[in-house]
Amino acid sequence: MHFNLSEVQEKEIMPGYHGKMIHSDHITIAYWKADKGAKVPEHSHLNEQIMQVLEGSFEFTVNGVTGIYGPNEVVVIPPYAKHSGKALTTCKLMDVFSPAREEYK
């Protein structure tokens, strides 16, 4: 199974968050472009998540601890951990989830 990300359709999953999703049986990868100022409201899910900032500056709160992350920074979000975020600049982000994120299919 092979994808070219330039041909994967973008979905605006939340206001200001434009994502391209790759799903396999056990993994979802979401490649996001986030508009400056766009917020992810606090939420949680059973899926383990690893978030990487590819470009820009992203404020991210996990279990009440807030950090500001830039390129090369990676945050692990355990299953059911409450987390929220805000794009301080336009951002490119990548999220990896396991199990696959059914709501994004």
Interacting residues toward its own copies by CB under 8 A: 1-6, 22, 24-27, 29, 48, 50, 52, 67, 69, 72-76, 78, 96, 98-99
Q: Which is nearer to its own copies, 15 or 102 (CB)?
A: 102
C-alpha to C-alpha distance for 103 and 105, rounded to whole angstroms: 6
C-alpha to C-alpha distance for 64 and 46, rounded to whole angstroms: 18
Q: Which is nearer to its own copies, 37 or 78 (CB)?
A: 78
Q: How far is the CB of 69 from its own copies (least distance, A)?
A: 8
Location of structure tokens 């690893």: 50
Q: Which is nearer to its own copies, 17 or 69 (CB)?
A: 69
Q: How far is the CB of 15 from its own copies (least distance, A)?
A: 26
Cβ partners under 8 Å of residue 72, min gap 6:
53
Q: Which is nearer to its own copies, 15 or 65 (CB)?
A: 65
In the three-class reduction of DSSP (H, G, I as helix; E, B as strand; rest coil), residue 5 is classed as helix
Q: How far is the CB of 5 from its own copies (least distance, A)?
A: 4
Q: How far is the CB of 12 from its own copies (least distance, A)?
A: 20
